[in-house]
Amino acid sequence: MSTVPATAAAWATADPYAAALRCGHGPLFLRRADGWLLPLEVERWCARADAVDREVLDRCEGTVLDVGCGPGRLVAELATRGRTVLGIDVSAAAVDRTVRLGGPALRRSVFEPLPGEGRWGTVLLMDGNVGIGGDPRALLDRAAALLRPGGLLIAETAPVNVDERAQVQVVGLTATGGADAHFPWARLGTRALFRYAQGWERAGQWAAGGRCFVALRRRRGRTANSSAEAAKRAAVISSQRARNTSAGNPVPGP
């Protein structure tokens, strides 16, 4: 297995996130450089898949890759259904918890080599993971490279019209983290995601339980990472992802 890139490792080993997963609750936030905080829904991620999650999973086609699987509720649910599924996450604590739930998972960044490239039936970007790497076009290009022709991408978007990129840290209630713990992140509403989804077919959008979702289908015959610029973006992205963000609005930091 390839090693997690240094910038991903800086986030993945952050004490507040690992501690939150081990105890199953927060408070935990993404902290922007300007001090604003975005709450992270640790309790929901560490619970069983709820009705909204199950509706998403009902739409999955073929084999499923859960990008940024976190503590593994979706991977575990799909595994109990007898589906072929794999979770990936840069956090060792997240992967360990997923495996303990009975779901297969690897400690890997989405921008690293992965099993089954070009053959997955569905890629999931749930809980704000559409923000991974801070470059939505590069992430969509990478998802296309992972999917089979005609494969499905299901992404959860922010329930507001937002398109923002920022450097963030994972912090607890009082921790601020070190300067080297910042990583790029994006936050997108549905309209913003559609703007970036060039070369994809829209396959649906819906809302449930205060959460918003988009389904995109990789066009048959589309060449993933079709431009040199897209390939460069994916290569230089600090493979890093932060943890899944809450669908809620940021709140002022202390």
Q: Does a structural domain hold residue 70? A: yes
CA distances from 202 to 129, 142, 224, 233 (A): 19, 17, 17, 24
Model confidence pLDDT, tens digit, residues 202-245: 999 999 999 999 999 998 875 544 433 444 444 444 334 444 44
Using the Cα atoms of residue 137, residue 213, residue 149 and residue 218 in order, give the sign of their dihedral: negative
Model confidence pLDDT, tens digit, residues 125-143: 999 999 999 999 999 999 9
Alpha carbons within 13 A on the beta-carbon side of 93: 18
Q: Does a structural domain hold residue 252? A: no
Q: Does a structural domain hold residue 150? A: yes
> Is residue 180 predicted with pLDDT exceeding 50?
no
Domain harbouring 214, CATH code: 3.40.50.150
Cα separation, 20 vs 5, whole angstroms:
23
| Peptide bond connecting 104 to the previous residue in cis, omega within 30 degrees of 0 | no
Domain that holds residue 208: 48-165+185-236
R_g of the chain, CA atoms, integer Å: 16
Model confidence pLDDT, tens digit, residues 94-127: 999 999 999 999 999 999 999 999 999 999 999 9
Average pLDDT along the chain: 84
Q: Does a structural domain hold residue 194? A: yes
Task: Provide the number of structural domains found in the chain.
Answer: 1
Q: Does a structural domain hold residue 36? A: no
Residue written as tokens 């905080």? 37
pLDDT of residue 242: 42
